[in-house]
Amino acid sequence: MNARVPKAVAAQAGADRPPRAVVLLSGGLDSATVAAWAIREGWRVTALSIDYSQRHRCELDAAREVARHLGIDDHVVLAVNLAVFGSSSLVDPAIPVPRDRPEDALAHDIPSTYVPARNTVFLSLALALAEARGAEAIAVGVNAIDYSGYPDCRPEYLEAFQRLAALATKAGVEGRPIGILAPLVHLTKAEIVILGRDLGLDAGLTTSCYDPGPGGRPCGHCDSCRLRAAGFATAGVVDPRVAGG
């Protein structure tokens, strides 16, 4: 899960073109920061956003705005209706999004906003797109420090998927395994805020809320809103999404 473009990858891509990475771009702060980071590190970026019938579908509009802001011209928006399966408050309107959970529960208890196997589904789709595009890597904004306790955000999960990617693809079998980049996995939310700012990312284009109001207004009470607010506060940075809304 190396962050920078490895020399071997750069050589594989060829002197005439930089290597390509597929970035899973949700429209949230973390994935947008990863997209900006990948561009800075010399990757050509293909963005992939998933419309999975999430209740916070305004994030897809945010993803489009972020892609334009960063100059990403290869942006795929793919519909995969996970609401058919249900079992998550992000895809089933009958299940309420948790609000104001105790601080100690945020990183330990798995909340109802967990979508069964979502990251595995998303990474599998990103893997398919990466192989189709001839990309050398997939970049994701998962984080294992300030997050909501999801099992598919842990480093050991990413390492396992990296092994799968090497085994399950033509590229891997031919000795060109597609890498998994997770530059934020060990950063706090405050560190992510600062990194995004330093990269020139307009965080006001991003949205993190799981249960937004009209016009995408953040609720301020879901796990994601609270983690984002704490990150900006700790970083000493004004959140333009809140200040502007």
Q: Does the structure show a pLDDT above 60 at 6?
A: no
What's the pTM value of the predicted model, to 2 decimals?
Answer: 0.91
Q: Is residue 5 part of a domain?
A: no
- The domain tally of the chain equals 1
Other Cβ atoms within 10 Å of 96 Cβ, number: 10
Q: Is residue 202 part of a domain?
A: yes
Domain that holds residue 52: 18-237
Q: Is residue 3 part of a domain?
A: no
Other Cβ atoms within 10 Å of 4 Cβ, number: 13
Q: Is residue 113 part of a domain?
A: yes
Q: Is residue 36 part of a domain?
A: yes
Other Cβ atoms within 10 Å of 167 Cβ, number: 10
Q: Tell which residue, 156, 219, 228, has the closest CA to residue 192.
A: 228
Q: Is residue 6 part of a domain?
A: no
Three-class SS of residue 148?
A: coil
**71, 36 in Cβ contact below 8 A?**
no
Q: Does the structure show a pLDDT above 60 at 141?
A: yes
Query: Rounded to the nearest 10 degrees, what angle do helices 223-235 and 189-198 cross at?
Result: 60
Q: Does the structure show a pLDDT above 90 at 148?
A: no
**29, 187 in Cβ contact below 8 A?**
no
Q: Does the structure show a pLDDT above 80 at 147?
A: no
* Average pLDDT, rounded, for the chain: 91
Q: Is residue 200 part of a domain?
A: yes
Per-residue confidence band for 244, with pLDDT thresholds at 50, 70 and 90: low
Q: Does the structure show a pLDDT above 60 at 212?
A: yes
Q: Is residue 187 part of a domain?
A: yes
- Across residues 150-174, what is the average pLDDT? 94
- The pLDDT value given to residue 151: 87
Q: Does the structure show a pLDDT above 60 at 65?
A: yes
Burial of 236 (0-12, 13-18, 19+ CB in 10 A): exposed
- CATH code at position 30: 3.40.50.620
